[in-house]
């Protein structure tokens, strides 16, 4: 069961309106939803899982 938190870009903290943004489960622990806004995705900004501290592009 996935907790439904307000979805925000994990990298820059901006709220994700959806347009161009993406969300996926942490590839490491699979328990945290990672959000990325269009800008951070475009610039390949790293994200970090707040739970397991996995970092990825
Ligand atoms: Zn962002
Ligand atoms: Zn994780």
- Give me the tens of pLDDT residue by residue for the chain, a chain 57 residues long: 555 557 889 999 988 876 788 889 999 999 999 999 999 999 999 999 999 999 988
> Domain total for the chain?
1
What's residue 11's pLDDT?
92
Name the closest ligand to CA 49. Answer: 2
Q: Which ligand is nearest to the CA of 12?
A: 1
Ligand lying nearest the CA atom of residue 10: 1
- Report the pLDDT value the prediction gives residue 5, as an integer from 0 to 100: 57
**Residue 53: which domain range?**
1-57
pLDDT computed for residue 56 by the predictor: 86
- C-alpha distance from residue 39 to each of 23, 29, 31 (Å): 13, 25, 24
Kindly list the distances between the CA atom of residue 43 and the CA atoms of 2, 30, 47, 49, in Å, as whole numbers in the listed order.
28, 24, 12, 18
Ligand 2 centre from 33 Cα, in Å? Answer: 8
**Residue 43: nearest ligand to its CA?**
1
- The pTM (predicted TM-score) of the whole model is 0.77
Residue pair 33/25 in contact (Cβ under 8 Å)? The answer is: yes
Computed on alpha carbons and rounded to an integer, the radius of gyration of the chain in Å comes to 10
CA 35 – ligand 1 centroid, Å: 8
């Amino acid at each position: 069961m996935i907790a439904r938190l307000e979805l925000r870009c994990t990298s820059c903290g901006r709220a994700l309106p959806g347009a161009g943004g993406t969300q996926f489960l942490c590839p490491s622990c699979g328990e945290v939803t990672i959000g990325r806004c269009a800008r951070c995705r475009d610039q390949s900004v790293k994200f970090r899982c707040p739970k397991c501290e996995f970092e990825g592009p």
